């Protein structure tokens, strides 16, 4: 599993490593060595300007400068402040640099083919302003390639947010494990390619910090995939009830197709008489039932997963059905109108959550339900999961899946093609299809987000929502191959 460490955990990992007997000076040497290796791998010797800040990120810069110069590179070093004001490991490494130390300014960029950004890393503690902001803007405007050390300066490692201005890097080399800011937008875009290098912090020390944020890869959830048994039948693969609206009927039709492609054994769309035949004619494998039978069908435990929201309509009827389904402790996926229906009274919704429940808000729906949660996307999703007692998928390119117990994953597959009408309905259907087969809520939500993103990326330009369910068999086949034959994805 690919753990992500918060900035606070990263400092703690450094501290514990140093406490265990590895000198900080050595960690810094290793960090600088890792960056210079990555530079030498990509570029032939050329004019490089290493821009150093007043902390340990700057200390890394002095190591990089020395190692590149030892290999014959033409290196200039600029420092914010004086060498005498540097402390600890940064001071030690600055003193090993025997060349000139210039004042940090845009003049450092003149004639540079490569810029190494060691101004701020994990220690960025306020907005970049004044002359430094001018320098960062000049870095972004100059034609040289830019490599960022740890974080592109100005990008907050915890939130991925820009503090004032931020360096836009071609690639970023960070250490030990990625931080949230490497994956959250806009940080992910500013990093360019992100390379994580070992600098001598052991896996045991990382493990001792009990990381609970991960990149959303199959390792997180693949052992929970409800593959059908050879002797199995459809009744063992769950029966989804999907609440279909009268007007926006496309939403549940898309969701239903996704739920069935994800493997749900049976699926019934409930709808008012006016829309029933529309749902019935949509796909021969879909069953339909009149909405009046909702409560009766909910009494049958074989109907084990319920989807409410896409095209459902905002109001009393939707609210009642949501509360009914939650009280019946069915696996519930609540999307779109099911969430908006509780905008005035979210605590009633949260109080009713009992069984496996997944809420799939986009930012607008999230704001209606969790209006006083502020901060970065990851923290808000985690707080919302705790508050609601449900798994929350906070959608977007950098989708977060958060569980009430604190676990969270960040999606790292970018598929801008998914920004199209109906795409969210497909995601909700996917989650429901996996829940119906008994997959636990967090894993089902994370797998659905992964499948959705992979489908979007694989299909590429021209994608419409209808294409996503039809891309699923190929992806599921790859996951099946991986289980059966250990094929690497
Ligand atoms: N033992 C360790 O802790 C290691 C740290 N390493 C490097 O050290 C970095 C963290 O070092 P630090 O904690 O010293 O932090 P930084 O070097 O990122 O920055 C801290 C300094 O910047 C100043 N500062 C912060 N924001 C500012 C702003 N907007 N404008 C002006 N000044 C600002 C602070 O007052 C402080 O002096 C990591 O990113 C990594 O590159 C690596 O060398 C590996 C080992
Ligand atoms: K940096």
Closest atom of ligand 1 to 59 CA is: 43
Residue 117 labelled as part of a binding site: yes
CA distance 459 to 355: 35
CA distance 386 to 403: 7
The average pLDDT across 11-37 equals 98
174/253 same-domain check: no
* Boundary (domain end) residue, out of 167, 184, 211: 211
**What is the 8-class DSSP label of residue 417?**
G
Residue pLDDT, tens place only, 105-155: 999 999 999 999 999 999 999 999 999 999 999 999 999 999 999 999 999
Using CA of residue 411, residue 332, residue 468, residue 485, what is the dihedral sign?
positive
Residue pLDDT, tens place only, 427-450: 999 999 999 999 999 999 999 999
The average pLDDT across 238-256 equals 96
Identify the CATH number of the domain in which residue 337 sits: 3.40.1190.20
Q: Sheet harboring 305-308: ordered strands across?
A: 3-4, 213-215, 408-410, 400-402, 391-394, 357-359, 331-334, 305-308, 239-243, 266-271, 287-290
C-beta atoms surrounding 217 within 10 Å = 16
Q: Give the pairing type, strands 391-394 and 400-402.
A: antiparallel
186/240 same-domain check: no
Give the CB-side neighbour count of residue 171, counting CA atoms within 13 A.
Answer: 14
Per-chain mean pLDDT for the chain: 96
pLDDT band at 90 (very low <50, low <70, confident <90, very high): very high
438 CB within 6 A, ligand 1: no
Q: Which of 301, 240, 308, 234 is nearest to 268 (CA)?
A: 240
CB 79 within 8 A of CB 101: yes
Cα distances (Å, whole numbers) of residue 362 to 340, 453, 488: 11, 15, 32
Structural domain boundaries enclosing 93? 3-211
Residue-level pLDDT at 201: 98
The average pLDDT across 91-115 equals 97
Residue-level pLDDT at 371: 86
55 CB within 6 A, ligand 1: yes
Question: Which protein residue has the closest C-alpha to ligand 1 atom 15?
Answer: 123
pLDDT band at 487 (very low <50, low <70, confident <90, very high): low
Q: What's the gap in Å between 152 CA and the centre of ligand 1?
A: 12
287/351 same-domain check: yes
Q: Give the pairing type, strands 213-215 and 3-4.
A: antiparallel
pLDDT over 70 at 488, yes or no: no
336/411 same-domain check: yes
**256-292 CB burial, b ≥16 within 10 A, e <16:** bbbbbbbbbbbbbbbbeeebbebbeebeeebebbebe
80/10 same-domain check: yes
123 CB within 6 A, ligand 1: yes
* Boundary (domain end) residue, out of 211, 227, 250: 211
Q: What's the gap in Å between 400 CA and the centre of ligand 2?
A: 25
pLDDT band at 358 (very low <50, low <70, confident <90, very high): very high
CA distance 404 to 136: 39
* 261-270, 285-294, 475-484: least confidently modelled range: 475-484
Residue 6 labelled as part of a binding site: no
419/452 same-domain check: yes
Angle CA(199)–CA(202)–CA(203) in degrees, nearest 5?
120
Q: State whether ipTM is beyond 0.90.
A: yes
Q: What's the gap in Å between 322 CA and the centre of ligand 2?
A: 48
21/92 same-domain check: yes
Number of the ligand closest to the Cα of 169:
2
Residues 6+ apart with CB under 8 A from 1: 214, 217, 219, 220
Cβ-count burial of 52 within 10 angstroms (0-12 exposed, 13-18 middle, 19+ buried)?
Answer: buried
CA distance 368 to 337: 11
CA distance 400 to 382: 9
* Boundary (domain end) residue, out of 211, 238, 260: 211
282/162 same-domain check: no
19/78 same-domain check: yes
Residue 250 labelled as part of a binding site: no
pLDDT over 80 at 64, yes or no: yes
How many structural domains is the chain composed of? 2
Residues 6+ apart with CB under 8 A from 469: 254, 257, 258, 260, 261, 426, 429
88/173 same-domain check: yes
196/316 same-domain check: no
Residue carrying the six token digits 């039948």: 233
Identify the CATH number of the domain in which residue 65 sits: 3.40.50.10260
* φ, ψ of residue 76 in degrees (nearest 5): -115, 145
Residues 6+ apart with CB under 8 A from 277: none
CB 36 within 8 A of CB 68: yes
196/241 same-domain check: no
């Amino acid at each position: 599993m690919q753990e992500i460490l918060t900035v606070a955990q990263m400092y703690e990992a450094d501290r514990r490593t140093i406490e265990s007997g590895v000198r900080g000076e050595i960690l810094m040497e290793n960090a600088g060595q890792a960056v210079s290796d990555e530079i030498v791998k990509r570029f032939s010797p050329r004019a490089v300007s290493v821009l150093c800040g007043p902390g340990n990120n700057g200390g890394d810069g002095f190591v990089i400068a020395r190692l590149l110069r030892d290999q014959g590179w033409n290196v200039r070093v600029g420092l914010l402040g004086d060498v005498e004001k540097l402390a600890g490991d940064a001071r030690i490494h600055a003193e090993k640099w025997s060349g000139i130390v210039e004042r940090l300014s845009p003049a450092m960029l003149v004639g540079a083919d490569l810029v190494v950004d060691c101004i701020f890393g994990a220690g960025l503690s306020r907005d970049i302003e004044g002359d430094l902001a001018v320098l960062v803007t000049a870095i972004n405007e100059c034609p040289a390639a830019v490599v960022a050390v740890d974080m592109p300066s100005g990008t907050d490692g915890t939130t991925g947010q820009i503090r004032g201005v931020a360096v836009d890097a071609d690639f970023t080399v960070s250490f030990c494990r990625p931080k949230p800011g490497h994956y959250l937008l806009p940080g992910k875009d500013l990093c360019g390619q992100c390379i994580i290098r070992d600098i001598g912090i052991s896996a045991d020390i990382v493990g001792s910090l009990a990381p609970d944020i991960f990149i959303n890869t199959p390792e997180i959830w693949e052992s929970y995939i409800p593959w059908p048994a050879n002797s199995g039948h459809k009744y063992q693969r769950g029966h989804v009830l999907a609440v279909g609206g009268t007007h926006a009927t496309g939403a549940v039709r898309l969701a239903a197709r996704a739920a069935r492609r994800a493997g749900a054994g049976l699926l019934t769309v409930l709808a008012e008489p006016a829309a029933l035949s529309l749902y019935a004619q949509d796909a021969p494998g879909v069953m339909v039932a009149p909405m009046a039978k909702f409560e009766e069908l909910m009494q049958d435990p074989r109907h084990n997963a319920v989807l409410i929201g896409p095209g459902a309509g905002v109001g009393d009827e939707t609210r009642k059905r949501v509360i009914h389904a939650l009280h019946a402790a069915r696996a519930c996926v609540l999307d779109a109108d099911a969430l908006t229906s509780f905008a005035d009274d979210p605590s009633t919704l949260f109080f009713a959550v009992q069984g496996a429940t997944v809420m799939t808000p986009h930012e607008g729906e999230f704001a209606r339900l969790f209006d006083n949660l502020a901060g970065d996307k990851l923290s808000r999703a985690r707080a919302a999961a705790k508050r609601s007692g449900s798994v929350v998928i906070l959608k977007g390119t950098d989708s977060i899946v958060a569980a009430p117990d604190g676990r969270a994953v960040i999606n790292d597959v970018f598929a801008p093609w998914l920004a199209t009408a109906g795409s969210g309905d497909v995601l909700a259907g996917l989650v429901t299809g996996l829940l119906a087969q008994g997959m636990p809520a967090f894993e089902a939500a994370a797998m659905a987000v992964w499948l959705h993103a992979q489908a979007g990326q694989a299909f590429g330009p021209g994608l419409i929502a209808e294409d996503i369910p039809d891309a699923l068999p190929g992806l599921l086949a790859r996951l099946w191959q991986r289980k059966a034959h250990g094929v690497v994805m």
